[in-house]
Structure 1
């Protein structure tokens, strides 16, 4: 019996492979547990179409993230924070502050994706790393000014 593996099966193969297995193993275990489908021409064609669709969606997602990266790297972000008596900031600038400032400028990024190397406690120009996914990182430059 030929089966198309839907999920990786240890000691048999990876998802997408067509394997020849014994009838009982194929029907009673692989197909019954949802690890495989009987490898008919229709099932194989449907699997190929699904893989094409997934590849197209991933390519579109990567293109969208690359566009977002360009927007982030060209953005001039200014964060204003209240100053203390000695000229230092009240508190530190965090990834939440950066995410809020981006939201005000029309770009919505989750604060968990923004990484600042060290605590920002003074005015000046700084850089943050934004992890967008699919291995795409953007360097976000921003300026901190006092109110």
Structure 2
């Protein structure tokens, strides 16, 4: 019976290093999709058995590059949508009614969620986590509130806090 020689997963030119493609983020090594070089024992005993990496074959590298290109396209579309939203919401001003005393101090406070509800009701899909407030709004008046719609796209919206109109 003829015995077939198994090729090692590492090349002798790389001085014993194994080239792996990370399947998940590994602290102090790299992020998902990166190609890293590690020692054979680390690859064989930890990364490969735990499913944190795979051997960096040409097919795997090509698949990762295609996936990365798709992710960049999706991110570009998301950023474009955030820019359009930032442009339109910057022209809008939100009016919120709140109970206040004679000096203009609110009995409660206005939070990011309240502003988000008003913007969503007006047709602007702004989530509470997009709103950047230094603290809750506790007085009547006009405020300029910063919106962070995308890591690279921000905008401002005017928020008017007015007293509740009494209906008699």
Output the TM-score relative to the length of structure 1.
Answer: 0.76
**Alignment CA distance shift 1:97-1:19 (3 Å):** closer
After superposition, the CA RMSD in angstroms is 2.7
Q: Deviations over 1:61-90 (max 9, x none)?
A: 211222221122111222233454x26364
**Alignment CA distance shift 1:89-1:105 (3 Å):** farther
Match of 1:96 among 113, 118, 122: 113
Equivalent pairs, count = 143
Aligned to 1:4: 20
Once the two structures are superposed, the pairs formed by residues 105-116 of structure 1 within 5 Å of their partners are 105-116=122-133
C-alpha distance in structure 2 between counterparts of 1:61 and 1:129, whole Å: 19
C-alpha distance in structure 2 between counterparts of 1:82 and 1:95, whole Å: 17
Once the two structures are superposed, the pairs formed by residues 38-57 of structure 1 within 5 Å of their partners are 38-57=55-74
C-alpha distance in structure 2 between counterparts of 1:29 and 1:82, whole Å: 61
Is the CA contact 1:3–1:36 (under 8 Å) kept in the aligned structure 2? no
C-alpha distance in structure 1 between counterparts of 2:146 and 2:52, whole Å: 40
**Alignment CA distance shift 1:20-1:87 (3 Å):** closer
Task: Give the gaps of 5 or more residues in structure 2.
Answer: 1-9, 11-17
C-alpha distance in structure 1 between counterparts of 2:158 and 2:94, whole Å: 7
Flag the structure with higher helix content: 1
Rg comparison, structure with higher value? 2
Task: Give the gaps of 5 or more residues in structure 1.
Answer: none
Aligned to 1:72: 89
Whether 2:52 is the aligned partner of 1:35: answer yes
